[in-house]
């Protein structure tokens, strides 16, 4: 059985070591969630050791991605890991305790559905970037031969970080209970955790290091891009540039999982689900549930905006203006991605999407191509080298989108994401890979004509294993230290030289952490130190929804139109 190691390092982040490569996550719950999706995508059972610096806990993840009790330890086994995930429906108490010990605001009550990616990431979900994990081990299932994985054969991966006995990075202490009690709460995957996109991708040929053609190697400590003009300030506002008098407020159960978006505020507690109207705070819909949602997203179905959530093999879509949601029966073991404006469903080799009358079949791309996202009735797919193909699901017409090359000597070394009119890729010289420490180009292309919208000179140490995270409301997205305007594709902020870590954006405001444990909100060119738990910015930026320490949701109106756009 393949072994994985989850460790908490002195920088407050959680690391996964798998198959000789190391990747970083914001908390243990997100790491376990990643490994569950990796196990399911590759049909590979895992034995996972969780080391928080104080104690070690062993769990197992089966080939369906379900977390359970750990098998007897294998003697002489090595720990190795990498991946990204979707949480499982049931876990044992040891896994829950491990996940609950390092909760993050994007994995609990403060999460906004990443498919606010309906216009939006998250998040959750950069489907294409996650192909790196899937490519390390081909799927064993003969029934899911498309797309097929390709073993990785690049330069030696980074080693796992040294684990020290320090507490993980936390938000400022509050007087309310810890938000994440189980890794199964809806907040864990409501945003940013999209379907792993297994790629039938061909790994570039590797050039020996001593070759004249070898790309330039740069240490991660070397600054590549000049620091953005960012100031750190204090604010007396609950949310910067928003009024301190709430427009409406509503009490929520003390231990409820709370998620907010443009389409509604989703509350889940004690077998009950309720959706509040984000404009008034009044209840739009409530019902009893047998299973907690594992996925929620703002989306567009046949041109109609809707709040969609998944519970087991069932999905429900509450359309704007409707009092009751429409129920969909999903295929067995269906995987969902909100990388595009519409949701893409994959079950084995079959693709589908949501329609007003039920699930609608989506034609499978030709072998060797990977389906990435659905935007405006077009399915976007590509093989490793492109071009991107956009097939209209209504008319059957197809167009090729040739991505503009940032430089003649550069080639694609990884697909990060596609959807919402943008393709995000990494480019490097022959020999560069996602973990080789080389200078590379992070490129945002338009999916209209393949033109370059922005490029960032960076290194694989900085973004090689990072995820493209789309924000609620479709305004912002980030990868590593780079914040982008999701609508224009332009780089807005580079915090690589500052001790600032970005979280899933809410509209144009980005929750962040500075100096290891100080919570902040990034608005425009200013980072404001504040403990505000911002759930969402809705109504085209006119209203900020906040969860208070007193288990009360409040909506604050915008002061003016001066907020950075």
Tell me what percent of the residues of the chain surpass a pLDDT of 90: 44
Residue 202 has pLDDT above 70, yes or no: no
Determine the Cα angle at 167 with ends 161 and 168, to 5°. 65
- With cut-offs at 50, 70 and 90, classify the pLDDT of residue 36: confident
Domain parsing of the chain, residue ranges: 1-102, 231-557
The DSSP 8-state label assigned to residue 153 in this structure reads -
Q: What is the pLDDT of residue 165?
A: 35
pLDDT tens figures, 480-501: 999 999 999 999 999 988 889 9
pLDDT tens figures, 332-383: 888 888 899 999 999 988 999 999 999 999 999 988 889 999 999 999 999 8
Closest to 149 measured CA to CA, from 410, 384, 433: 384
* Residue 76 near residue 96, CB atoms below 8 Å: no
pLDDT average, residue stretch 71-83: 39
Determine the Cα angle at 262 with ends 257 and 263, to 5°. 75
pTM: 0.64
Q: What dotted CATH number matches 231-557?
A: 2.130.10
| Four-residue CA torsion sign, 283, 288, 289, 292 | positive
* Residue 551 near residue 255, CB atoms below 8 Å: no
SS3 of residue 209 by DSSP:
coil
Q: What is the pLDDT of residue 226?
A: 54
Helices (H), 393-486: 460-463
Beta strands in 257-313 (DSSP E): 257-260, 265-269, 272-276, 283-288, 295-301, 304-311
SS3 of residue 292 by DSSP:
coil
Contacts of 263 (CB under 8 A, 6+ apart): 113, 116, 118, 278, 298, 305, 306, 307, 318, 320
> Residue holding tokens 């608005």?
523
Residue 394 has pLDDT above 80, yes or no: yes
CA–CA dist 536, 474 (Å, integer):
11
CA–CA dist 538, 279 (Å, integer):
8
Q: How many other C-beta atoms are found inside a 10 Å radius of the C-beta of residue 451?
A: 13
The mean-pLDDT minimum among 218-227, 279-288, 544-553, 556-565 falls in 218-227
């Amino acid at each position: 059985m393949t072994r994985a190691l989850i460790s908490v390092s002195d920088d407050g982040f959680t690391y996964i070591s798998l198959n000789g490569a190391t990747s970083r996550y914001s908390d243990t719950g997100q790491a376990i969630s990643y490994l569950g999706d990796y196990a399911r995508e590759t049909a590979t059972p895992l034995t996972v050791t969780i080391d928080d610096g104080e104690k070690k806990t062993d769990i197992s993840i089966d080939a369906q991605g379900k977390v359970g009790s750990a098998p007897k330890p294998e003697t002489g086994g090595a720990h190795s890991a990498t991946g990204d995930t979707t949480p499982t429906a049931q876990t044992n108490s040891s896994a829950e305790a491990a996940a609950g010990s390092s909760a993050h605001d994007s994995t609990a009550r403060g999460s906004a559905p990443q498919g606010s990616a309906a216009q939006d990431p998250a998040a959750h979900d950069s489907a294409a970037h996650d192909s790196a994990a899937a490519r390390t081990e081909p799927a064993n299932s003969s029934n899911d031969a498309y797309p097929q994985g390709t073993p990785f054969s690049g330069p030696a991966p980074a080693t796992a970080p040294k684990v020290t006995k320090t507490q993980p990075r936390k938000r400022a202490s509050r007087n309310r209970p810890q938000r994440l009690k189980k890794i199964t709460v809806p907040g864990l995957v409501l945003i940013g955790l999209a379907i792993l996109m297994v790629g039938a991708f061909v790994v570039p040929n590797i050039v020996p290091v001593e070759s004249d053609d070898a790309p330039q190697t740069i240490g991660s400590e070397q600054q590549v891009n000049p620091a953005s003009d960012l100031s750190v300030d204090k604010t007396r506002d609950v949310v910067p540039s928003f009024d301190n008098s709430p427009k409406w407020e509503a009490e929520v159960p003390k231990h409820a999982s709370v998620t907010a978006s443009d389409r509604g505020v989703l509350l889940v507690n004690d077998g009950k689900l309720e959706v509040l109207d984000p404009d008034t705070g009044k209840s739009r819909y409530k019902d009893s549930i047998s299973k907690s949602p594992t996925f929620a997203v703002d989306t567009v179905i046949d041109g109609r905006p809707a709040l969609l959530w998944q519970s087991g093999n069932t999905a429900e879509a509450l359309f704007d203006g409707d009092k009751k949601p429409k129920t969909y029966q999903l295929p067995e073991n269906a995987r969902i991605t909100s990388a595009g404006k519409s949701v893409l469903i994959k079950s084995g080799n079959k693709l589908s999407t949501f329609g007003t009358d039920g699930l609608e079949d989506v034609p499978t791309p030709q072998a060797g191509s990977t389906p990435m996202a659905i935007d405006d009735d077009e399915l976007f797919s590509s093989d490793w080298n492109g071009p991107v193909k956009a097939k209209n699901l209504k008319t059957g017409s197809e167009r090729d989108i040739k991505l503009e090359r940032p430089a003649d000597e550069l080639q694609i070394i990884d697909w990060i994401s596609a959807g919402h009119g943008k393709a995000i890729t990494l480019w490097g010289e022959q020999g560069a890979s996602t973990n080789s420490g080389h200078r590379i180009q992070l490129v945002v292309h338009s999916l209209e004509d393949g033109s370059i919208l922005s490029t960032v000179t960076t290194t694989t140490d900085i973004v090689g294993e990072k995820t493209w995270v789309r924000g609620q409301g479709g305004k912002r997205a980030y990868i590593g230290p780079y914040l982008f305007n999701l609508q224009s594709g332009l780089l807005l902020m580079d915090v690589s030289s500052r001790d600032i870590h970005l979280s899933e954006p809410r509209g144009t405001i980005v929750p962040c952490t500075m100096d290891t444990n100080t919570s902040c909100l990034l608005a425009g060119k200013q980072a404001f130190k504040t403990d505000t738990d911002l759930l969402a910015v809705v109504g085209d930026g006119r209203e900020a929804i906040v969860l208070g320490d007193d288990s009360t949701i409040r909506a604050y109106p915008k002061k003016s139109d001066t907020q950075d756009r």
